[in-house]
Amino acid sequence: MVDVVKNERPTNTIKQLHQEGQSVWLDDISRQMLQAGELKRQVEEIGIRGVTSNPTIFQKAIAGGDAYDDEIKRLLDAGTNASDIFESLAVADIRQACDVLRPLYDQSEGGDGFVSLEVSP
């Protein structure tokens, strides 16, 4: 009898890239994605290793549904200006994404599991 050793490689291209030392980040974030567990699914099943975002992505997320409406209303009622409202919404989502990615950060000893936000210079 001959034992055959197979080189087990994931069929998922993103996971294959990770085996080759590459970390694929998702260039998208939204409260809807976070609340629905979509980011967690992409991290666990697909192999996403981090998240990056920018003001345009947040603008699309805010305009694309009602997930932010109550918080925006509360901040407007408190007299918060538009820039500070944006920062508050973005920071809340970034923190939640960091919570999702924390196990990956710990497992990779800080090599992966980051969330970035493009800001003005």
Per-residue pLDDT of 79-91, as tens digits, reads: 999 999 999 999 9
In contact, 94 and 116? CB cutoff 8 Å: no
Residues of the chain with pLDDT under 50: 1-6
Please state the domain count of the chain: 1
Give the pairing of strands 25-26 and 50-53: parallel
Residue 47 lies in a domain: yes
Q: What tokens were used for 80?
A: 């918060």
Residue 4 lies in a domain: no
The pLDDT of residue 9: 53
Residue 11 lies in a domain: no
Domain of 102 in residue numbering reads as: 18-115
Around Cβ 90, how many Cβ atoms within 10 Å? 20
Residue 6 lies in a domain: no
Residue 30 lies in a domain: yes
Cα(63)–Cα(79) distance, rounded to whole angstroms? Answer: 21
The pLDDT of residue 119: 85
- Report pTM: 0.85
